[in-house]
Amino acid sequence: MSADLSKSAYDHLWMHFTRMSSYENAPVPTIVRGEGTYIYDSNGRKYLDGLAGLFVVQAGHGRQELAEVAAKQASELAFFPIWSYAHPKAVELAERLAEYAPGDLNKVFFTTGGGEAVETAWKLAKQYHKLTGNHTKYKVISRAVAYHGTPQGALSITGLPALKAPFEPLVPGAHKVPNTNIYRAPIHGDDPEAFGRWAADQIEQEILFEGPETVAAVFLEPVQNAGGCFPPPPGYFQRVREICDQYDVLLVSDEVICAFGRLGTMFACDKFGYVPDIITCAKGMTSGYSPIGAAIVSDRIAEPFYKQDNTFLHGYTFGGHPVSAAVALANLDLFEREGLNKHVLDNESAFLGTLGKLHDLPIVGDVRGNGFFYGIELVKDKATKETFSDEECERLLYGFVSKKLFENGLYCRADDRGDPVIQLSPPLISDQSTFDEIEQIIRGVLTEAWTKL
């Protein structure tokens, strides 16, 4: 059965971000079941889900109550669009998200995923400025190495040239500034506050260089994912907020990964003390039990769209899907009932401390992140922070580390978008036993990897 499934997967299932040739003569790993923090493959092997699927399964696998809610909603109203009509679950979820969101972010535009939410936010920013008389404001600023999604606009905002090259030319007007990787800071690497000020000021310099009359929005993740979990330095977002206000530029907090408990708060901007104009979110809203995303917009930005015959000419067939909205509400109930955010806040230092033990390995240069979201950067030389060549990354990360981690029972991500990192983002129900298991598996694999250099 599993052999037939694997062959069929290779023949017909075009997997995402996957070198399909690597499975021409090798079985396709096929996951058939999940329970708690673990997943099981078609051969019955058990793996710790160290990435919560893809930064998604906050409440853990096998939550029967979420499956039952989906079935109940599908039997009542399986589908209806929110194009000029409402249905109860979309209304209830929009109200709930507005209650959680900071400031006056009270308007919720539903999508089916994170990339669509980012696409929505850019289009919204451009039309907002046109409606308020600023017809030349269309450009966006984001950070180097940052990933914001695969739609044409979101991909333009993404700061990973190799991901964009096959699809160019993309949407014009997307510009990049340095990110907040203090481990490789070009300046102020020993002073987090000064580095944060410098990094934020690069946004102002880019706005001035392009012309404030042309810049519509700044897109930033609270903790940048690609490159390996870069937290914001102290004061960074406060300074960015000042800059955006000064030049009439919208601040978009891209929380597709960071929202819904990943950092221990419903929205990550709350953890770092800033109020954006738009929050983009998805992934953890349903813990992955059904797809949904959203752009949550401030009343100020929404106001011109609620006047006269103005219309935001944008939408998705499955945006605010009744089943997904019902599952999201049940998932948020579960968050509150089980105190998942508090659990993350109570245990994040223990998680970081456990991963920090890996600093004794010569291959580990940096361990960084926040909440239940961490990156371990691998280096060739600890003293100089020398990284690996492209050939070494290919051989070390893809040829050994990634496969070996999975073979040893840990599903996570070994990635070289930027510098080589191992990324960890387990379900929010994880505890010290989970942290210890992750650390032990990584320790064994990296110890062996070092001998192969």
Q: What is the mean pLDDT of the chain?
A: 96
Helix, strand, or coil (residue 67): helix
Q: Using one digit for the tens of pLDDT, what is the confidence trace for 94-114?
A: 999 999 999 999 999 999 999
pLDDT above 50 (res 235): yes
Q: With CA atoms as reference, report the closest residue to 213 among 277, 135, 127, 301.
A: 135
- The two structure tokens encoding residue 335: 């968050």
The arithmetic mean of pLDDT across residues 125-152, rounded, is 98
Look at residue 1 in the predicted model and tell me its pLDDT: 41
Q: With CA atoms as reference, report the closest residue to 94 among 276, 260, 304, 294.
A: 294
Q: Using one digit for the tens of pLDDT, what is the confidence trace for 12-31?
A: 999 999 999 999 999 999 99
| Helix segments in 19-151, DSSP class H | 52-55, 64-76, 88-100, 114-131
The arithmetic mean of pLDDT across residues 191-208, rounded, is 98
Detail the DSSP E strand segments found in 153-228.
174-177, 215-220
Look at residue 51 in the predicted model and tell me its pLDDT: 98
Residue 179: pLDDT band (50, 70, 90) is very high
Helix, strand, or coil (residue 402): helix
Instruction: Write down the residue that tokens 């070289």 correspond to.
Output: 416
- The two structure tokens encoding residue 4: 């037939």
pLDDT above 50 (res 337): yes
Look at residue 398 in the predicted model and tell me its pLDDT: 82
The arithmetic mean of pLDDT across residues 410-415, rounded, is 92
- The two structure tokens encoding residue 64: 């029967």
Q: How many CB atoms lie within 10 A of CB 226?
A: 24
Q: How many distinct helices (H) and strands (E) make up the chain?
A: 16, 15
Residues near 144 by beta carbon (within 8 Å), at least 6 away in sequence? 159, 176, 177, 178, 179
Look at residue 93 in the predicted model and tell me its pLDDT: 98
Look at residue 396 in the predicted model and tell me its pLDDT: 85
Helix, strand, or coil (residue 378): strand
Q: Using one digit for the tens of pLDDT, what is the confidence trace for 53-85?
A: 999 999 999 999 999 999 999 999 999 999 999
Residue 2: pLDDT band (50, 70, 90) is low
Distance of CA 325 to the CA centre of its chain: 20
Residue 211: pLDDT band (50, 70, 90) is very high
